[in-house]
Amino acid sequence: MSKKTLRIGLIGSGYMGKAHAIAFRSAPAVFELSADIELAMLADISAEQAAAKAAVMGFKRSTGDWRELVNDPDIDVVDICSPNWLHKEMALAAIAAGKHVYSEKPLALNAADARMMTEAAERAGVKTLVGFNYAKNPTVSLAREIIRSGELGDIVHFRGTHNEDYLCDPEAPFSWRLKREFSGSGTLGDMGSHIINMAQYLVGDITDVVADLKTVHKKRPIANAPGEFGEVENDDQVHLLARFANGAQGTLESSRIACGRKNSLWFEVTGTLGTLIYDQERLSELQFYSRKDAGPREGFRRILVGPEHPDYANFCVSAGHGLGYNDQKVVEVRDLVEGLCAERPMWPQFRHAYEVNRVLDAVELSHQERRWVSIEEIA
């Protein structure tokens, strides 16, 4: 019996578009999928660029008009890897055309738009997936398994960061990421959304926040325009305190100007019986402390993720060899295919990503009004 073929239409061939293309091509070699994957069409900013990238990435067809891709009857899934401000329009158009949608994060520039997109997808009965890929790491899956098993006891605290230094140089040129109409918030939406999603995945719903945001470099030079500068309209760094529905407390931070930090998505989950520590820059390791080991030689022990842990064996037969960033996307694509073709639950869908957007909006409101904000205040 032949498999169903899932036909993918990808919008955007930049960094994330390339990561998605790699994952689509790798997933069938890593996992036994319920459907074949066809890279059907690529849309980009011009017909010429789309054609060139399609040839490199292995797509059958290309277009310089994303609307053509969305409305093409031979496309099953619209994969949105465009800049943030385009997510809403593209997703709503895809939903209206009856297509399933796989979108990069953040889902939208604000919670109101994310809710509109979520409700449109639910009304139309199409399935959705959002690219919070760090939670797809087998190491993070193991961390969640340990937490859910009760090995840490009752969770009392989450401490997390997502810090990078891609804008630490004050002479780094101005870009669309620094304008609110195109990017929304700054590091808060770009990387803060990842650590917020991670906190929700591991600990549970965030109910209240109090936050402080700061723009450190308020102007940046405009490329190829000597002496001209653009006004930075969003945050370089954010710090927040959080309360969780289960009673746990949290401290979260994100920065795009953290010198020396390349991908410091880091968390520490503390319970009444133990603690877990994870660092994305060492993405195949967990540090685990258990009170059961208390004694003269107590301390954290390193767990190297291996074939006995979730999903790892599909990539490698031996522990300690490690996985990479793109492998997380491969797991994400597996979840997309199985969710669409084998009726398995998909996470995070638009509804889950909307909850992240609610927290993002609450963080900004807290900073503006200098007070604790309940997530329930954000519609």
Q: Would you state the structure tokens that stand for residue 261, as one six-digit string? A: 């930090």
Non-local CB neighbours of 379 within 8 Å, separated by 6+ positions: 111, 112, 115
- How much is the pLDDT for 293? 87
* Terminal-to-terminal C-alpha distance of the chain: 47
Q: Report residue 294's pLDDT band, with 50, 70 and 90 as the boundaries.
A: confident
Is domain 138-322+349-369 in CATH 3.30.360.10, yes or no? yes
Q: What is the mean pLDDT of the chain?
A: 97
Is domain 4-133 in CATH 3.40.50.720, yes or no? yes
Cα atoms in the Cβ-side hemisphere of radius 13 Å centred on 122: 11
Position 227 pLDDT exceeds 90 = yes
pTM, two decimals, is 0.96
Whole-number Cα distances in Å, 46 to 49, 62, 63, 64? 5, 10, 7, 4
Nearest to 121 by CA among 139, 100, 146: 100
Q: How far apart (Å, rounded) are the C-alpha atoms in residues 116 and 354?
A: 9
Q: How far apart (Å, rounded) are the C-alpha atoms in residues 69 and 16?
A: 18
**What would the mean pLDDT of 208-234 be, rounded to a whole number?**
97
Domain residues of the chain, as ranges?
4-133, 138-322+349-369
Q: What is the pLDDT of residues 236-286, one digit of tens each?
A: 999 999 999 999 999 999 999 999 999 999 999 999 999 999 999 999 999
Q: What is the pLDDT of residues 330-354, one digit of tens each?
A: 999 999 999 999 999 999 999 999 9
- How much is the pLDDT for 297? 86
